Amino acid sequence: MPTVIEVIKQASVRLAQESVPEYAFIPQPECLPPNIAGIVEFMNAAKAALFPGFFGEAQDNSLERLYAMLNEQISRALCSFGSQNNTGNAPELALAFIGQLPEIKRLLATDIKAVYDCDPAATGYSEVLFCYPAIQAMTYYRIAHKLLLLEIPVLPRIITELAHSATGIDIHPGAEIGEYFSIDHGTGVVIGETCIIGNHVRLYQGVTLGAKGFTMDNNGLPVNVPRHPIIEDNVIIYSNSTILGRITVGHDSVIGGNIWQVYSVPPYSRIIQRKATSAFTDGLGI
């Protein structure tokens, strides 16, 4: 039986081998990539700045600290993932994000109001902010979306995946989501990259706003084109419904639970499950 030292040496040699074909799929960064612990620290500081007293006390230099933390992570992201490998833009990008914090806070305030208004079990805005996974997911999404608009690589996706892991709500940072957005319960909600969601939209648990299929390039790889639904204003989508493809759900519509929708519906639609055809039900003895 090999000794501990022998096993460690053998594993070390095998890990360093470059001849293993599958190792080609693992990138070898030329500089330090973003640090997950650092991003978590940044998000905690951002929540404290946005909601002072709820997630830590806001300090006089809180925005300076936030800027410094983000500057470092942007620099790492640009070095490791940027197409131009230019870290010199990091301070400018970090500062541009800091300037967006008031708008992020305004949008999140509308989300808090929407969640509270849609849930009779909520006792107040403080409970919604403290306890509801939708607000955590939306806080991470709205921060990540602003970073994505600044064309900062990888950080937005890391941030939304942190929220996904914590809440079970999967929102791609590329999605466009309007004001007064609410998710009730939330577990299993998926919102794809090219979704466009209007104002005063409400989703329930298990809703998927996904792609029906993919456009492939000459190499057989999927092309990043609009492929997710457009949800107009004042739409409600109930639990476990699946809305697929670049279709439009017209404003003031209601999609019932457990619906599979792959065609556009006009404004003021009511889409619900219907009883099976008589031929089918007769065969089941119903």
Using 50, 70 and 90 to split pLDDT, how confident is the model at 80?
confident
Are 37 and 107 in the same domain?
yes
Are 136 and 219 in the same domain?
no
Are 93 and 153 in the same domain?
yes
Report angle CA 95, 156, 88 to the nearest 5 degrees. Answer: 40
Are 69 and 34 in the same domain?
yes
Residue 74 lies in a domain: yes
Are 49 and 143 in the same domain?
yes
Domain of 229? 188-286
Q: What is the mean pLDDT of the chain?
A: 91
Residue 257 lies in a domain: yes
Packed helices 133-149 and 155-167: angle between N→C axes, nearest 10 degrees: 170
Are 203 and 284 in the same domain?
yes
Are 165 and 193 in the same domain?
no
pLDDT at position 2 is: 84
Query: Of 169, 204, 235, which residue constitutes the final position of a domain?
Result: 169
Distance, in Å, from the CA atom of 286 to the CA atom of 282, rounded to the nearest integer, reads 6
Is residue 225 within 8 A of residue 215, CB to CB? The reply is yes
DSSP 22: G
pLDDT at position 217 is: 85
Residue 182 lies in a domain: no
Are 161 and 39 in the same domain?
yes
Query: Of 135, 169, 203, which residue constitutes the final position of a domain?
Result: 169
Are 112 and 140 in the same domain?
yes
**104 φψ region: left (φ > 0), alpha (ψ -120 to 50), beta (else):** alpha
Residue 38 lies in a domain: yes
Are 135 and 228 in the same domain?
no
User: Which CATH number belongs to the domain containing residue 249 in this structure?
Assistant: 2.160.10.10
Give 208-224 pLDDT, tens digit per residue.
999 998 888 888 888 88
Is residue 203 within 8 A of residue 182, CB to CB? The reply is yes
**Domain tally, the chain:** 2
Residue 76 lies in a domain: yes
User: Which CATH number belongs to the domain containing residue 113 in this structure?
Assistant: 1.10.3130.10
Tell me whether strands 236-237 and 196-197 are parallel, antiparallel or unpaired.
unpaired
pLDDT at position 99 is: 96
Residue 24 lies in a domain: no
Residues 5-34, mean pLDDT to the nearest whole number: 87
Query: Of 169, 196, 226, which residue constitutes the final position of a domain?
Result: 169
Residue 18 lies in a domain: no
- Percent residues over pLDDT 90 in the chain: 74
